[in-house]
Structure 1
Amino acid sequence: MPSLPVELLLGLYLGLLTGIVPAFVAGSLGFLVRYFTGVTLPGFGVVVLALSIASVQGGLLGLVEPTIAQSPRLLVAVLVVLMLALYAHNQGDKLGAELPRRLSLTSIRQRTLSTDVVELVGSVGQVTARPTGEIRDMEGYPPLSPDLRGRLKAGSWRLPADLPLSELETRLEERLRTEHDLADVDVTLDERARATIAAAPPSGSLSRRLSTGHRAVSVATLVPTGLARGDEVTVRVGDRSITGTVLSVRTEIDDERAAIPVSEEPPDDELATDGGDPTDDAIPTPRSTTATAGGPGRVTVAVARRDVKPLLEAESLGLVVRSRGTSREFEAFALLKREGYAVRRLTVGTGGTDGETADEPPASAAVTVLAVRRQGSETGGRRHGWVFGPGIERSLEAGDEAFVAGSDDAIETFVEAVAR
């Protein structure tokens, strides 16, 4: 008969050999029961299950023999099997308790920035997004020009830091598309605000701004000061009035300003007065890049197809800018500001809850919730789902985005209560 140390080693070997399958089954059951029911599987049931599986497995392996059953190694093997099963069950139960029960693709996309890259500007957090790696070309489009690729590579963009990465990616895509007139762009941001960019060069920018059934016509006329792309105008040709939308505008004054180098400054003797201080007239005014300075020039207008010939045949014409009305959004904000209210956008934090309704903040009486957007199946997409004037019947929940109005102090207290 082998000595006691050899029997102990043989028992450890047999326990590890037959305890792998019971441990796997016990861990899986512990996880599934805790995850779906929230109840911990009893330890006695784990012991009975592990011994049953181990006995069946030992019989299949030919380990249940009279010599083994009457030796100390069997007791050691049983103890090893039970310890493995109970440990696996404990780990599976812990995993089932910690794993989120409402896991969806939307929640996976709601990643946020790392706190190391957030910069505080006043009381608002901002982040600077910079490209990482090479600027890739988009499949199905021509390659980017070296100049445009270099400008994108050297660019940096300031973005608010209180938004999820998916929203930041959307904003950066819209900004790049607007600034560089890109045909298409795809941006992926990581937690450190490093942007992976794939872009397509501009193609037919003028024709893409034309609606179906419209044509672009350039006319030489006296351009009103401040005219910009997108303005609605009326072109008067004799007794006829033709309406259209401005696609581009250029005047002689704009050409003269464009010919002056940006770094060019007036001489010192032109800036200095008798007292040595520059006068108000000597300080150069900033140049406008969005609107024209007015004067003689050329305007490209989008008009209906039937109005192209009269414009091309006209010897002289006049240009009148049409009113597009006052923006109701700006009127609403002006009224709130006049009454001493501030408007702020925020995201409700979890506050230690698991999707439960956020506690009512102490300053909620002085703050009005103007609109709420709930992340989930109600939205139907990340850019939809705003509910305006939700009222008291719609409580804020963790993950909601909201616009609130109130005094500065009340909003700060409100944000500290719900946005943590």
Structure 2
Amino acid sequence: MTPGGSLPVEVLFGLYLGLLTGIVPAFVAGSLGFLVRYFTGVTLPGFGVVVLALSIASVQGGLLGLVEPNIAQSPRLLIAVLVVLMLALYAHSQGDKLGAELPRHLSLTSIRQRTLSADVVELVGTMGQVTVRPTGEIHDMEGYPPLSPALRRSLKNGSWRLPADLPLSELESRLEERLRTDHDLGDVSVTIDERARATITAAPPSGGLSKRIPDGRRAVSIATLVPTGLARGDEVSIRAEARTLSGTVLSARTAVDDEHAADESPVDDGTPVPDGGDAEADPDPAPKPNAASAGGIGRVTVAVARRDVKALLETETPRLVVRSRGTSREFEAFTLVKRAGHVIRRFTVGPNADADLRAAADVTVLAARRQGSETGGRRSGWVFAPGIERSLEPGDEVFVAGPEAATDEFVEAVAR
């Protein structure tokens, strides 16, 4: 017989005390093993783990020995020490393994720069595109009124095509801007996953007309002959008797537009509404904000300078002349590049970029958006040639131009 009882009882007591006392040493050993391996790449020696575990366990065991001194003279102490050491060594090995496998440069920025899954990308010519569709319900934005049923249904049934070579954060920004433009939303937040499914939180339009009036201008509605195709945003000249005023179209409406809207609205043919239905749940769809007018006699709301408001209101028969915006110079430049046999590519410099090929390639860097230590991991604004002074670094987003073969080879070497 042992001082504390039979041997099986002592073994059970030893296992119990070892598990009870070994929790804290195991946690400390695992945490230390993970931290040392993750930040230094060195494995903490097993002897140090043993010494540390015994030191921590001795504090708890010493407190327990004050209560029952017979424990120090029984086999249960040896069994408890073995259990404590096994727990500490096992926790240390798992922490060391986790520190070796966990990526060392994990950051929120790298998480947001993830891209789409390859199986949702559609190839259109030489460019990849993706169709983004909403998933789930369209959420109301906190602090704003709820969305109307028609607007909520329009967003839920919508789909948008975007370039597939952009990170998800850039796709989210582009979709938010498109939704603001197409639906005149007060505010919108979009989250896109790797399957091109968008979670949309939106706020309804607020102050539609007043929000579109530039500072220092006033909105004036006039009855006149509306040119066919006139739409919001067009710049016009208004001939008011002996004066010619300049303005920006805010809205245009004619009798033909009203007829088209009436033809597209649902007709009540006396069919009863099914049980559980709501006769007002499907209201007339609102016209698109940028829809062009069909032309004819109607009313146009224009934004003009304050000094021109009186002259415009006093004119009985004002006439509209739509001014040309000219040719888009960026499209002309792109056409000249293609005519010269060159192509333009956009990519992000990879961590394994070939520095020798980067310097010798027959391509021209048109613009770069930096991302480095000096910007705290955030992307700075676009820098255009010849203002690009330093060489490209991993994480930089770049536009390059050059012969197609040389450009493709350059992109393959630098973007990998």
* TM-score interval, smaller chain: 0.7 to 0.9
* Structure 1 position 210, deviation (Å): 0.4
What does residue range 211-230 of structure 1 map to in structure 2 within 5 Å?
A: 211-221=214-224, 227-230=230-233
Partner of 1:33: 36
Between 1:186-195 and 1:217-226, the stretch displaced more is 217-226
- CA offsets 1:139-170 (integer angstroms, 9 cap, x no match): 34333222222222222222333333322222
- CA offsets 1:198-231 (integer angstroms, 9 cap, x no match): 3233333222110123122233455566654323
For 2:201 and 2:377, locate their aligned partners in 1 and report how far apart those are by CA, in whole Å.
23
Please say if 1:314 is aligned against 2:318. no
For 1:380 and 1:314, locate their aligned partners in 2 and report how far apart those are by CA, in whole Å.
59
For 2:372 and 2:131, locate their aligned partners in 1 and report how far apart those are by CA, in whole Å.
29
Which secondary structure does the structure 1 equivalent of 2:44 belong to?
Answer: coil
Please say if 1:21 is aligned against 2:24. yes
Letter matched to residue 12 of structure 1: L
What does residue range 19-418 of structure 1 map to in structure 2 within 5 Å?
A: 19-62=22-65, 73-221=76-224, 227-249=230-252, 298-324=299-325, 326-350=327-351, 358-360=353-355, 362=357, 365-375=361-371, 385-389=381-385, 391=388, 393-398=390-395, 400-418=396-414
Aligned pair count reads: 387
Which secondary structure does the structure 2 equivalent of 1:62 belong to?
Answer: helix
Letter matched to residue 371 of structure 1: A
For 1:156 and 1:81, locate their aligned partners in 2 and report how far apart those are by CA, in whole Å.
60
Asked if structure 1 preserves the Cα contact closer than 8 Å seen for 2:188 and 2:203, the reply is: yes
Asked if structure 2 preserves the Cα contact closer than 8 Å seen for 1:218 and 1:298, the reply is: yes
- Alpha-carbon distance change, 296 to 36 in structure 1, aligned in 2, over 3 angstroms: same
For 1:109 and 1:196, locate their aligned partners in 2 and report how far apart those are by CA, in whole Å.
15
Letter matched to residue 22 of structure 2: G
Which secondary structure does the structure 2 equivalent of 1:245 belong to?
Answer: strand
- Alpha-carbon distance change, 139 to 53 in structure 1, aligned in 2, over 3 angstroms: closer
For 2:63 and 2:263, locate their aligned partners in 1 and report how far apart those are by CA, in whole Å.
92
Which secondary structure does the structure 2 equivalent of 1:192 belong to?
Answer: coil
Asked if structure 2 preserves the Cα contact closer than 8 Å seen for 1:7 and 1:71, the reply is: yes
For 1:240 and 1:375, locate their aligned partners in 2 and report how far apart those are by CA, in whole Å.
53
* Structure 1 position 362, deviation (Å): 4.2
For 2:184 and 2:333, locate their aligned partners in 1 and report how far apart those are by CA, in whole Å.
31
* Structure 1 position 377, deviation (Å): 7.0
Asked if structure 1 preserves the Cα contact closer than 8 Å seen for 2:229 and 2:292, the reply is: yes
For 2:373 and 2:84, locate their aligned partners in 1 and report how far apart those are by CA, in whole Å.
46
For 1:222 and 1:180, locate their aligned partners in 2 and report how far apart those are by CA, in whole Å.
27
Which secondary structure does the structure 2 equivalent of 1:409 belong to?
Answer: helix
Letter matched to residue 410 of structure 1: A
- CA offsets 1:88-147 (integer angstroms, 9 cap, x no match): 222223333444455544334334334454444455443332223322333343332222
For 1:366 and 1:205, locate their aligned partners in 2 and report how far apart those are by CA, in whole Å.
51
Asked if structure 2 preserves the Cα contact closer than 8 Å seen for 1:162 and 1:347, the reply is: no
Between 1:54-63 and 1:6-15, the stretch displaced more is 6-15
- Alpha-carbon distance change, 337 to 379 in structure 1, aligned in 2, over 3 angstroms: farther
Asked if structure 2 preserves the Cα contact closer than 8 Å seen for 1:249 and 1:292, the reply is: yes
Asked if structure 1 preserves the Cα contact closer than 8 Å seen for 2:145 and 2:204, the reply is: yes
Asked if structure 2 preserves the Cα contact closer than 8 Å seen for 1:128 and 1:193, the reply is: yes
- CA offsets 1:304-343 (integer angstroms, 9 cap, x no match): 1221121122234444444545444334323322212222
- Alpha-carbon distance change, 225 to 133 in structure 1, aligned in 2, over 3 angstroms: closer
For 1:93 and 1:321, locate their aligned partners in 2 and report how far apart those are by CA, in whole Å.
72
- Alpha-carbon distance change, 316 to 382 in structure 1, aligned in 2, over 3 angstroms: farther
Letter matched to residue 218 of structure 2: R
RMSD: 3.7
Asked if structure 1 preserves the Cα contact closer than 8 Å seen for 2:252 and 2:293, the reply is: yes
Asked if structure 1 preserves the Cα contact closer than 8 Å seen for 2:65 and 2:72, the reply is: no
- Alpha-carbon distance change, 162 to 235 in structure 1, aligned in 2, over 3 angstroms: same
Between 1:158-167 and 1:65-74, the stretch displaced more is 65-74
Asked if structure 2 preserves the Cα contact closer than 8 Å seen for 1:233 and 1:320, the reply is: yes
TM-score by length of 1: 0.77
Which secondary structure does the structure 1 equivalent of 2:150 belong to?
Answer: helix
- Alpha-carbon distance change, 67 to 316 in structure 1, aligned in 2, over 3 angstroms: closer
- Alpha-carbon distance change, 12 to 124 in structure 1, aligned in 2, over 3 angstroms: farther
- Alpha-carbon distance change, 258 to 406 in structure 1, aligned in 2, over 3 angstroms: farther
Asked if structure 2 preserves the Cα contact closer than 8 Å seen for 1:106 and 1:376, the reply is: no
* Structure 1 position 303, deviation (Å): 0.4
For 1:241 and 1:326, locate their aligned partners in 2 and report how far apart those are by CA, in whole Å.
24
Asked if structure 2 preserves the Cα contact closer than 8 Å seen for 1:138 and 1:200, the reply is: yes
Which secondary structure does the structure 2 equivalent of 1:345 belong to?
Answer: strand
- Alpha-carbon distance change, 359 to 46 in structure 1, aligned in 2, over 3 angstroms: farther
For 2:357 and 2:22, locate their aligned partners in 1 and report how far apart those are by CA, in whole Å.
56
Partner of 2:286: none
